[in-house]
């Protein structure tokens, strides 16, 4: 039983590593050939400031475009575009 669990865990880890490296390789290929590896998404940020009287103050920032990468996983310091399209409002805790 322990061998099956260990084998399954190892297979999942290898599959995840292979997926990530393949996604990175495709991204590097798109960068090298100039096939639009990056995109922009308009993101609305707001800051959540905890006050001493147990209340929260919200400060809203202007909408700003954020660079994203057309891939499955985050690469090169950018979030994936599919994730940013679904999470256009970002809360920053202060």
If one counts every other C-beta atom within 10 angstroms of the C-beta of residue 71, the result is 21
If one counts every other C-beta atom within 10 angstroms of the C-beta of residue 78, the result is 18
- Over residues 19-66, the pLDDT tens digits come to 999 999 999 999 999 888 999 999 999 999 988 888 888 889 899 999
Q: Which pTM value belongs to this model?
A: 0.77
Break the chain into its structural domains and give their ranges. Answer: 2-93
List % helix, strand, coil for the chain (3-state, nearest 5): 40, 35, 25
């Amino acid at each position: 039983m322990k061998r099956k669990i260990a084998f399954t865990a190892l297979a999942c880890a290898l599959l995840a590593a292979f997926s990530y490296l393949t996604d990175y390789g495709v991204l590097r290929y798109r960068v090298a050939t100039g096939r639009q590896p990056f995109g922009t998404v308009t993101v609305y940020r707001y800051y959540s400031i905890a006050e001493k009287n147990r209340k929260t103050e919200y400060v809203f920032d202007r909408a700003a475009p954020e660079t994203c990468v057309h891939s499955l996983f985050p690469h090169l310091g950018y979030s994936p575009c599919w994730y940013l399209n679904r999470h256009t409002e970002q809360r920053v805790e202060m």
